[in-house]
Structure 1
Amino acid sequence: MSSQCSGGCDHIHTKAAHAPIDNHTCHCSVCKAVTGQDTTHVVFFRHGDLEVDNEAGLKRQPFNAKNPDGPLELCTCGECGAPIMLDDRQSRIRVIVPNLMGYGDQIEPAPYHAFYDPASGEAKPSDGRPVYEALRPDFVWPEPS
C-alpha cells in the first residue's frame, strides 16, 4: 500500500496515512451476509489512523444482525447509502472493504485467509496463502485510541 490511500463517496471521505495493521481475505458468515460476496477482502486500520471528514453524515447500524450489541458498526453515507467503513465502538480499529468502500486497488492484496471454517463444506483455499480459522496467529488487537 502507498503511504496514503483514500475512499468513501461524494459526501463522506476517508483517508489513511498509515499502513493497515491487518489485511486478509475473510470467509466468515457475517461478511458473506453483509457483502453478498463469497469472500471479502478486509483491511484493519488503527482507529485513529483512518480519518473521516464528515462523521455526522454517517448512518450507523450493527454489522452483525445476530449480535446487534457487538463492537462493530457498519457506517454508510446518510445521503447516498454508500458503505463507508466499519467502526469499532471500542475505538480499537476501523475497517475497510476496498472493493466496496471506494479504495479500489490502492491497498495490497490480502496475504492470508481468515475465518475459514472446514465445517462449512467449502473447499479450503489452495492459492498458496496461509489459511487460518481466525485472524493470523500473531495479530494483536490495538489499545483503544
Structure 2
Amino acid sequence: MSHKYEGGCAHVHTHADAEPIDNHTCHCSVCKGVTGQPTTHVAFFKHDDLAVDHPDKLNRQPFNASNPDGPLELCTCQECGTPIMLDDKQNRIRAIVPNLMGYDGSFPAASYHAFYDPSTGVPRPSDGRPVSEGLRSDFVWPSPA
C-alpha cells in the first residue's frame, strides 16, 4: 500500500498520510551538529500521524547531547545505522529530515526558516520565506498522543 509520505531504510519504514504540522529549514546548532549540514529541512508530524513499522529495530539516543534528558530522541536503524526519525518521549510529535531519512525529492519544501540567529554571522536567508528566531509564532505543540 502506498502512502502520501514514505521513508526509512531497507529494514525500518516510516509513513504518513497526514500533512506535517510544521515544515521548516532549521538553523539551530543542534541540527547542524547532528546532521553536519549548514541548515536542515525538518518536518514535524503529530506523533500518531507518522507510523514506524518496526520500532523494536531502532536504536535511540538523545537528539541534543547537551540536554540528554530532553524530549527528543534520534532513532536509527539497529542494522544499518540509517537515521529514521526523531521521536518525542512526550508523544507529541515525530520529526523527519527528508533528505537524510529516506524521503524522496517530492516532499514539500520548507515554508519558513526557524532558529535563525544573526549573532552566528551567517547571512540572513533571502529566499523570500519568512525567517524566525524560533518556531513560527502560531505553532502550537500538540497534546500528547
Task: Provide the TM-score with structure 2 as the length reference.
Answer: 0.97
Other-structure match for 1:29: 29
In 2: Cα distance, 1:78 partner to 1:35 partner: 18
Does structure 1 residue 43 correspond to structure 2 residue 68?
A: no
| C-alpha displacement of 1:131 | 0.2
In 2: Cα distance, 1:20 partner to 1:123 partner: 28
Counterpart residue identity of residue 37, structure 2: Q
Match of 2:111, SS?
Answer: coil
Figure out how many residues of one structure are paired with residues of the other and give that number. Answer: 143
| C-alpha displacement of 1:106 | 3.1
Match of 1:102, SS?
Answer: coil
Other-structure match for 2:71: 71
| C-alpha displacement of 1:39 | 0.2
Match of 2:43, SS?
Answer: strand
CA displacement, residues 58-92 of structure 1 (integer Å, 9 cap, x when unaligned): 00000000000000000000010000000000000
Q: Which runs of 4+ in 1 moved over 6 A?
A: none
Match of 2:106, SS?
Answer: coil
**Alignment map for 1:1-145 (pairs within 5 Å):** 4-145=4-145
| C-alpha displacement of 1:105 | 1.7
In 2: Cα distance, 1:93 partner to 1:142 partner: 7
CA displacement, residues 98-138 of structure 1 (integer Å, 9 cap, x when unaligned): 00000022321001000000111111001111000000000
| C-alpha displacement of 1:4 | 1.2
CA displacement, residues 2-54 of structure 1 (integer Å, 9 cap, x when unaligned): x7110000000001010100000000000000000000000000000000000
In 1: Cα distance, 2:69 partner to 2:118 partner: 27
Match of 1:56, SS?
Answer: helix
- Structure 2, unaligned stretches of length 5 or more? none
Counterpart residue identity of residue 22, structure 2: D
